[in-house]
Amino acid sequence: MRQPSESSVNATIWDSTSFYRTPNRKNNPLKRPRSCQNKECQNVDRISNLPDPIIQHILSFLPAADAIKTCILSKRWDSVWTLVPNLIFRRECSCSQEAESFAVFVDKTLMHYCSPKVKKFLVEFEFTECLKAQVDSWVEFAVRLKVEELCLEFHREIADDPDYYYLPNFLYSNIPAEKLSLRFCALSPNKLKQVSWMSLKVLSISYNFVSNEMIKNIFLGCSLLEYLKLNQCHGFDQINTNFSSSLKDLVVDGSWGPEDKFGDFVITIKGPSLLSLTLTGYMRRANYMLLDVSSLVEANIGYRMKSCSLGCRSNWYSAHRSMLHDLLEKLKHVEKLTIGTWCLQVLSISEVKGLSSPTSACKYLTLNKKINKWDLPGIASLLQSSPNLQKLTINLMPPNNFEVFFYHNITSLPLFLSVKLWFGTLIAFLSISIFLLFIMLYYKSSLSSYCVIKSLLQLTF
């Protein structure tokens, strides 16, 4: 049975007889109630009359500083904030003095906190080594209250700043948290050998050194881990999820290899039980290789290559075209596939050179890209290689500096290659138009398909 379209759903709210879609007041759920004429009714403080759990839930979405300010509203609100389930401490500190004043504020807040349990505890500011003892006490406070989600997300104004926050020893034991997020937090390789995070299901590590052995020990010490994100981490060249039968979702957001191994440094991912794989962010001097990802259902390859010099960048598509082809070959069985800017550009050049994309069983294809006419060959290549495709989604993204470099090289191509690329773009337009016309006839979505084809005509010519 077909699901009702968006227009049919809106028809219950809007009067379809009016050309300008005048709201149907009778059936409109957004209709304003009549204002109360009684002065006593107008003076009622409805928010203050809400039960404490509801008010505390509302305040839990605010940073701690804003939640505390509500105590000046009335005596009723004097101590409501002390029982909020979430404690969020976030501060942009531009100097050490501001960081110290922020630490004093956190200390005083925790002294007045009365809830026996905290769901989420987040600390985000520019960490300095002189505040380590205080941060340790905050973490101990959160663990003692059986925190469910612990986020230690620190900033560093200078990239090479040595002030990492080293996790206290007690945090490697069996903490109650189910979600743990660490940014600029140094992990001890020796302590990870005995790590015991038996309740942990979601782990995110950002801007850190993580070796192969450390990843293995994390898998062995987290028997319930389902989601792992490595954001701008380095020091590893393989991720073997055979040590974690529970891991279902892996995200690698940016990575880089040694400076002396440009082009030869390969990050191997082996995940026979993975259901979702995401490869995004900048890759510096590194390549990806997938070994066993037979269980994958969803994949996102939105990474971007970042070369070490202009000479390397000028031939980036030649050096890494085979890697992208191998990735698509390994991912040909996934049902949901997301392609990013860089990969789409590589596919466009490959299509013009006569190298088509591997055949895919993808049913749902998403393109994260601000569509340009030079992207049409890559889109056509994906459509032609996806005979089972049911849904195409294009998320228009703003262009970045890398795209400017790419299009500069395209426009400076020799004449015969420029003509070949133009003809490839024209053929791609015809292929996409035929695909959209098929959708128009099958689903009877004439207006949307017409608008898309019109947009493609403007891009091509």
Instruction: Please give the pLDDT value at position 66.
Output: 74
Nearest by Cα to 138 from 80, 64, 71: 64
Provide the whole-model pTM: 0.75
Q: pLDDT-derived band of residue 25, with 50, 70 and 90 as boundaries?
A: very low
390's enclosing H/E stretch is: none
Nearest by Cα to 358 from 338, 380, 385: 385
Instruction: Please give the pLDDT value at position 278.
Output: 95
Give the pairing of strands 227-233 and 165-166.
Answer: unpaired
Give pLDDT tens digits for 387-404: 898 988 888 766 554 444
| Planar angle of CA 7, 10, 14, nearest 5 degrees | 120
CA–CA dist 426, 374 (Å, integer) = 10
Phi, psi torsion values for 27, nearest 5 degrees? -105, 5
In the predicted model, is pLDDT for residue 179 greater than 90? yes
CA–CA dist 223, 238 (Å, integer) = 20
More confident residue, 345 or 406: 345
For residue 278 the two structure tokens come to 């995401």
Q: How many CA atoms lie within 13 A of 440 on its CB side?
A: 14
Give pLDDT tens digits for 409-449: 444 444 444 555 555 555 555 555 565 556 555 554 444 44
Q: Is 257 helix (H, G, I), strand (E, B) or coil?
A: coil
Instruction: Please give the pLDDT value at position 172.
Output: 92
In the predicted model, is pLDDT for residue 199 greater than 70? yes
E strands, 56-117, in order: 86-90
CA–CA dist 219, 193 (Å, integer) = 11
Specify burial of residue 104 (Cβ count, 10 A radius: 0-12, 13-18, 19+).
exposed
Mean of the pLDDT values across residues 157-181?
83
CA–CA dist 304, 320 (Å, integer) = 11
Mean of the pLDDT values across residues 366-390?
81
Instruction: Please give the pLDDT value at position 61.
Output: 74
Instruction: Please give the pLDDT value at position 456.
Output: 46
Contact 231, 256 (CB under 8 A): no
What is the Cα gyration radius of the chain?
27
More confident residue, 63 or 292: 292
For 323-342, give the DSSP string: HHHHHHHHTTT-SEEEE-HH
Q: pLDDT-derived band of residue 26, with 50, 70 and 90 as boundaries?
A: very low
**Helix, strand and coil in the chain, % to nearest 5:** 40, 20, 40
CA–CA dist 7, 447 (Å, integer) = 12
Chain position carrying tokens 């049913």:
363
Instruction: Please give the pLDDT value at position 162.
Output: 64
Give pLDDT tens digits for 305-326: 765 443 444 455 566 778 888 8
Give pLDDT tens digits for 68-94: 676 666 666 667 777 888 899 988 765
Q: Which residues pair with 279 in a beta bridge?
A: 252, 301
CA–CA dist 203, 171 (Å, integer) = 14
Q: pLDDT-derived band of residue 19, with 50, 70 and 90 as boundaries?
A: very low
Q: Which residues pair with 424 in a beta bridge?
A: none
